């Protein structure tokens, strides 16, 4: 896999993770306002975007596992960073929603 192909995968991961991140941040605001069902719905939607990012990431991992040399650049690293921070945010948002419910 050449750098251009890896960059395209990186951009895809950034897009999916960014979409999930936006939904998760909106979910925090909804939970703060007592709209728990709406917040939980956004978390579910964010999970779908995260799954898409994982699927894209898995494509690259499968190529590398099959022996394809992967030329990774900064865009791919950025995509991985976005995905990992979004996964952490998801865990935190779920805890915050629970705390707001107890409120």
Q: Which domains does the chain have, with CATH numbers?
A: 3-102 (1.20.58.80)
8-55: pLDDT as tens digits: 999 999 999 999 999 999 999 999 999 999 999 999 999 999 999 999
CB contact at 8 A, 9 and 60 = yes
Q: Pick from 83, 103, 101: which is nearest to 24 by CA?
A: 83
Residue 89: per-residue pLDDT: 98
Instruction: Note if 78 is an active site residue.
Output: yes
Residue tagged active-site, from 54, 78, 82, 95? 78
pTM: 0.90
Query: Do 79 and 5 meet the contact criterion of CB atoms below 8 Å apart?
Result: no
Sign of the dihedral defined by the CA atoms of residues 12, 13, 14, 16, in that order: positive
Report which secondary-structure segment, H or E, holds 18: helix 3-32
């Amino acid at each position: 896999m050449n750098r251009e192909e890896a960059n395209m995968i990186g951009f895809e991961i950034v897009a999916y993770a960014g979409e999930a991140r936006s939904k998760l941040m909106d979910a925090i605001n909804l939970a703060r306002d007592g709209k728990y069902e709406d917040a939980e719905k956004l978390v579910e939607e964010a999970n779908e975007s995260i799954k898409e990012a994982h699927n894209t990431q898995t494509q690259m991992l499968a190529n590398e596992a099959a022996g394809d040399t992967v030329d990774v650049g900064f865009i791919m690293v950025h995509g991985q960073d976005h995905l990992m921070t979004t996964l952490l945010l998801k865990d935190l948002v779920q805890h915050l929603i629970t705390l707001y419910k107890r409120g």
